[in-house]
Structure 1
Amino acid sequence: MAFYQALPWHEGEDKIHKLTRVPPADNPTHPMLSSFLAKRVSTSPTIALGTIDDQGRVWCTVWGGDVPIAQQVAPGGIIGVRSQVDASFDPVVQALYSGKDDGEVVRHDPNTGKMVSGLSIKLEDRDRVKLFGRMMAGSLSADERAPEATEQAHVESEGQIGRTGNAQLVLQITQSLGNCPKYLNKKTIKSYPDAKPRLASESALLNEEAVAHVHNADLFFVASRGPEDMDCNYRGGPPGFVRVQRNQDPSQPQSSVLVWPEYSGNNLYQTLGNIMHDPKVGIVIPNLENGNVLYLTGHAEILIDKAASTIIQKSKLAVRLTITAARFVQDGLPFRGEPCADNKDVSSSHPTTTHSITDGQSPYNPRIRYLTSELPSTPDKTNPNPESNSNSTSTPPPDEHRHFHSPTLTATLTKKTKLTPTITKYRFSLHSSNHASFDPSMSPLWQPGQYIALDFSDELYMGYTHMNDNEPTSLNDDFIRTFTIASIYTPPTANAAPEFEIVARNVGVVTKWLSCQNDRSGMTRIGVSGFGGTFRFEKVAVASTEEEQQGSRKKKNAFIAAGIGITPLLGQVSATPSSASENGASEPGDDDVLVLWTLNIADIGLALDVVNSAPGAMKRDMRLFVTGTETQAKGNENMKVLRGLEEQASGLRIARRRLMKEDLTALEKSGEIEVQNWHLCTAPTLRKQVQEWLDGKTVVFENFDY
């Protein structure tokens, strides 16, 4: 049995540990290559490598192919790496072999050779081993350049066709560490000898193709430098977890900036500790499906607490990289990776644990965290947290209409009403340590159609946990949820604080907890982070003359909702019909709104509650589309009540089918009404369908994809 003294933390690591409040602990890094870790390295088909070029820049690359890509070849932690590589544009290849590509052996003193950090990784098993050592020897034999490539090279550098080659590398490893399987997205690696690398761009200002490459990535590798060593590690998440921050100031240097959140890890912070010591880092972002690869080097900045949350949503720790040099290479990887779509996690750390995994995505991946300067435009198909829907979402990007209040503002549950087996209506009363904040003459705390952000962390956060296979997404959950306010704002009085209602489906850890709470006064009190949102109905234009009124059709706001997507409407329609204002427009009223609402028969109790509480004029213009089997509908008492209202000529119309295109186009064909504004609050799939049906028309919707 080998005994060794723990390696000390360096100054940068100590600093990041203090800033992130990590309790003191020994450094688990081995000052050698253990036999156990050497065996794991020999089973991996991929290795990421980092080094420093002759300009002092840190670069990172990833090599892969047939197993073993690396293995111990001699005692004393000496490993050999053999791989097909991009011999022309890979910056680590150029730095290690100094441009020699004719097979000549390059030798170094193992004590003074180039520093090389490595990460042996087997994505298929979610296994990784960190390595550090120095280059002892190596050789690169590049393939002959094709005639057309030679001609192209004389024309321009960008677009130049490169060569592949066989690389051999001998390293003496002096540090090693096995890492946990979190955030590793499963992929099966296979060699691809037909790669033909082409330099598409070497601009530090990423073009649209390179930006798309970044936003499609679900993994990258990062190399950093400490006082006496280097580190190479993996970052993974849902596709799009790395964001490109657009440069809005033309006076600034034309380079791109990348931002990524630092997820809950093993609390070692070795990469961040190195950045504290030296901000120069290198990253490589591979696309394992098509072989394109983006090499970047630049200066990194660590963002902590407010500095992080103001840049990227829901993050208390993030990294911002300002790119100083880049190479975007098409077809540059001599290997490919395919997602492992299985249902078993065979991680070497937890071999008996099973999960339901989609396309190999890690069950620990949180949702995409967008920059606060951007609004997502595409659905987040990788979201592992089902609690986010059209009424309960993760914290959205701030906007000019968001206004936050004192953290002492709290909400106390005063009433809950179960409407369906999974949907509950909650009523809360607001409380503040500053009682003057509820002065009857105060400005409204929120506007109709806005959301409230509630902070459940005091009740649900259990402290740091390295792994939690039962609730993997809890490791990066801030337990802040936003809910559309489903009630009209009523000003406070001398004796009563403002109250609000929300409607939530019981689908996730927060809403499940909330559904179990007692509504006796004072039993459940939750922090309020703020209010925000811009999903408002526009005013409906009113005919100004008697002649126009006689010849014009009734103008309406059409509201298309699915399930609990009806809630943004409830806080906006008033109890009385709209009245004309001086400028010929009116505030949105219940007589201005035409509702087309689709929901499943299992949620029909929600429909009955809304119809019973809705203003009378809104009932006259509600089309309800109820899906589900006849067996489910038969004997449903709520459905019988709604059918009774329909038979009373109340104006409520019920169709036992899905919403169809003809239901929308027929509205204006009758000649009786004119839809001035179309509003949507549905799931992304239905929203996309409705937008296609309404091609050419302006559609307003709240984006709940973040």
Structure 2
Amino acid sequence: MTTTRSGFHAGERAVQARAGLRERADHVGRSIGAVIPPVAARFLTERHTLVVGAADRHGDLWATLLGGRPGFLRAVGDTGLAVAARPVPGDPLAEALAEPARVGTIALDPAGRRRMRLNGRSEPDGRGGLLIDAEQVFSNCPRHIHRRTPHPVAPRAAAAATGSRLTLRQQLALATADTFFLASADPAGDVDASHRGGAPGFVTVLGPDRLRWTEYPGNAMYMTLGNLELRPSAGLLLPDWETGGALLLTGRARVDWADPAAPAVDYRVTRVVELPHATALTWTEDDAPPNGR
């Protein structure tokens, strides 16, 4: 994908200009690196989960959740991330990540309300895990992260449920969610995974195949909306904090810019996969929802 001198591609620059935040984006964009600094390496080693976004063999984008005990993520040199986990059977990215793939990832610390993103190229490590070569590494602010504490549970095998529309139970889960993750990509296939959070109800369910939520400036780089400007495919991940399950969606997103300060995303669901046990972890919420959006 062709980028400007700033390092942002044309879709990101167009969205930043539409929001009136190009100068701020240029400033924040200087924090994006291609190496994993020591403080980030320590952060990764302490994590229990990694969100991974990638495209399946049909080109549809998905985001999924990998988990393990602290140490399942490990920095290798300055640019490598070893992941001692792969998607569970039935995960739509199980096949994609069994081969070299472009990925976007988020390492999340719900207990400490911290997160970092690492995007690059993934390949199987030959030992049941992944090795990711980083091309973009950067941290995000703690806004909208709900504080939670992990609790390991015994892993259990269970069949994935699939469909093309959301069931009533799945719609209720989305309507009461305080967190989800979104995978997007530019036309060249470079993938990014991002976090969305707010008070329960920040996602509006308009039907069994349609969702809507409001976007806010955040770090002003607009990497997700910049990708959607050029490629509307997007994958949505809703973790089930109480069971270790996950709801995975793929679909198409359209951004409504009627209010440039708070554009709204309309999301059309095309496929649904529910994983009863995506990770061997459950989480308990430790505090009230964070303020603001």
Length-normalised TM-score, structure 1 = 0.39
Which protein is richer in strand relative to its size? 2
Over 3 Å counting, the alpha-carbon distance change for 1:38 and 1:227 in structure 2 is farther
User: Which of the numbers 124, 140, 146 marks the counterpart of 1:185?
Assistant: 146
> Are the counterparts in 2 of residues 223 and 282 from structure 1 also a CA contact under 8 Å?
yes
Task: Trace 1:431-470 onto structure 2 (pairs within 5 A).
Answer: none
Inter-partner Cα distance in structure 1 for 2:123 and 2:92: 19
Q: Tell me the alpha carbon deviations over residues 456-500 of structure 1, each in whole angstroms, 9 at most, x when there is no partner.
A: xxxxxxxxxxxxxxxxxxxxxxxxxxxxxxxxxxxxxxxxxxxxx
Q: Which residue of 2 aligns with 1:9?
A: 8
Inter-partner Cα distance in structure 2 for 1:138 and 1:364: 41
Inter-partner Cα distance in structure 1 for 2:244 and 2:176: 13
Q: Which residue of 1 aligns with 2:262?
A: 316
User: Which of the numbers 204, 215, 236 marks the counterpart of 1:262?
Assistant: 215
Inter-partner Cα distance in structure 2 for 1:340 and 1:331: 22
Q: Following TM superposition, by how much is the alpha carbon of 1:336 offset from its aligned partner in structure 2, in angstroms?
A: 1.0
Q: Which residue of 1 aligns with 2:183?
A: 223
Q: Tell me the alpha carbon deviations over residues 625-648 of structure 1, each in whole angstroms, 9 at most, x when there is no partner.
A: xxxxxxxxxxxxxxxxxxxxxxxx
Inter-partner Cα distance in structure 1 for 2:87 and 2:185: 24
Q: Which residue of 1 aligns with 2:72?
A: 69
Q: Which residue of 2 aligns with 1:682?
A: none
The one-letter code matched in structure 1 to 2:134 is: I
Q: Which residue of 2 aligns with 1:243?
A: 204
Q: Which residue of 2 aligns with 1:18?
A: 17
Q: Tell me the alpha carbon deviations over residues 157-215 of structure 1, each in whole angstroms, 9 at most, x when there is no partner.
A: xxxxxxxxxx4111111210110000000111233233333323x22211111111212
User: Which of the numbers 35, 40, 48 marks the counterpart of 2:38?
Assistant: 35
Q: Following TM superposition, by how much is the alpha carbon of 1:93 offset from its aligned partner in structure 2, in angstroms?
A: 2.1
Q: Following TM superposition, by how much is the alpha carbon of 1:90 offset from its aligned partner in structure 2, in angstroms?
A: 1.4
Q: Following TM superposition, by how much is the alpha carbon of 1:242 offset from its aligned partner in structure 2, in angstroms?
A: 1.3
Inter-partner Cα distance in structure 2 for 1:332 and 1:23: 38
Task: Trace 1:268-667 onto structure 2 (pairs within 5 A).
Answer: 268-305=221-258, 316-341=262-287, 358=288, 361-365=289-293
Q: Tell me the alpha carbon deviations over residues 590-632 of structure 1, each in whole angstroms, 9 at most, x when there is no partner.
A: xxxxxxxxxxxxxxxxxxxxxxxxxxxxxxxxxxxxxxxxxxx
The one-letter code matched in structure 2 to 1:204 is: S
Q: Following TM superposition, by how much is the alpha carbon of 1:238 offset from its aligned partner in structure 2, in angstroms?
A: 1.2
Q: Following TM superposition, by how much is the alpha carbon of 1:61 offset from its aligned partner in structure 2, in angstroms?
A: 0.5
Inter-partner Cα distance in structure 1 for 2:183 and 2:59: 13
Q: Following TM superposition, by how much is the alpha carbon of 1:284 offset from its aligned partner in structure 2, in angstroms?
A: 0.7
Q: Following TM superposition, by how much is the alpha carbon of 1:7 offset from its aligned partner in structure 2, in angstroms?
A: 5.3
Q: Following TM superposition, by how much is the alpha carbon of 1:139 offset from its aligned partner in structure 2, in angstroms?
A: 4.6
Inter-partner Cα distance in structure 2 for 1:129 and 1:82: 18
> Are the counterparts in 1 of residues 64 and 87 from structure 2 also a CA contact under 8 Å?
no
The one-letter code matched in structure 1 to 2:115 is: R
- Is 2:172 the partner of 1:170? no
Q: How many percent identity over aligned positions?
A: 26
Q: Which residue of 1 aligns with 2:108?
A: 121
Inter-partner Cα distance in structure 2 for 1:81 and 1:55: 24
Q: Which residue of 2 aligns with 1:208?
A: 168
> Are the counterparts in 1 of residues 62 and 235 from structure 2 also a CA contact under 8 Å?
yes
* Structure 1 residue ranges without an equivalent (≥5): 1-5, 99-112, 141-166, 247-254, 309-314, 342-357, 366-706
Question: Aligned to 1:14, what secondary structure does the other structure show?
Answer: helix
> Are the counterparts in 2 of residues 217 and 287 from structure 1 also a CA contact under 8 Å?
no
Q: Following TM superposition, by how much is the alpha carbon of 1:41 offset from its aligned partner in structure 2, in angstroms?
A: 1.8
Q: Which residue of 2 aligns with 1:437?
A: none
Which protein is richer in helix relative to its size? 1
Inter-partner Cα distance in structure 1 for 2:278 and 2:47: 20
Q: Which residue of 1 aligns with 2:83?
A: 81
The one-letter code matched in structure 2 to 1:92 is: L
The one-letter code matched in structure 1 to 2:68 is: G
The one-letter code matched in structure 1 to 2:237 is: V
Inter-partner Cα distance in structure 1 for 2:133 and 2:229: 26
Q: Tell me the alpha carbon deviations over residues 277-302 of structure 1, each in whole angstroms, 9 at most, x when there is no partner.
A: 21111111111112332110111111
Inter-partner Cα distance in structure 1 for 2:211 and 2:135: 32
Q: Tell me the alpha carbon deviations over residues 396-455 of structure 1, each in whole angstroms, 9 at most, x when there is no partner.
A: xxxxxxxxxxxxxxxxxxxxxxxxxxxxxxxxxxxxxxxxxxxxxxxxxxxxxxxxxxxx
Question: Aligned to 1:125, what secondary structure does the other structure show?
Answer: coil
Question: Aligned to 1:56, what secondary structure does the other structure show?
Answer: coil
Q: Which residue of 2 aligns with 1:96?
A: 97
The one-letter code matched in structure 1 to 2:41 is: A
Task: Trace 1:112-151 onto structure 2 (pairs within 5 A).
Answer: 113-139=100-126
Question: Aligned to 2:20, what secondary structure does the other structure show?
Answer: coil
Over 3 Å counting, the alpha-carbon distance change for 1:7 and 1:170 in structure 2 is farther
Over 3 Å counting, the alpha-carbon distance change for 1:273 and 1:133 in structure 2 is same
Length-normalised TM-score, structure 2 = 0.89
Query: How many residues of Structure 1 are paired with residues of Structure 2 in the alignment?
Result: 285
Q: Tell me the alpha carbon deviations over residues 113-140 of structure 1, each in whole angstroms, 9 at most, x when there is no partner.
A: 3101110111111111110111233357
User: Which of the numbers 39, 60, 76 marks the counterpart of 1:57?
Assistant: 60
Give the ranges of 4+ consecutive aligned residues of structure 1 lying more than 4 Å apart after TM superposition: none
The one-letter code matched in structure 1 to 2:279 is: L
Q: Following TM superposition, by how much is the alpha carbon of 1:60 offset from its aligned partner in structure 2, in angstroms?
A: 0.6
Over 3 Å counting, the alpha-carbon distance change for 1:186 and 1:274 in structure 2 is same
Inter-partner Cα distance in structure 2 for 1:288 and 1:339: 9
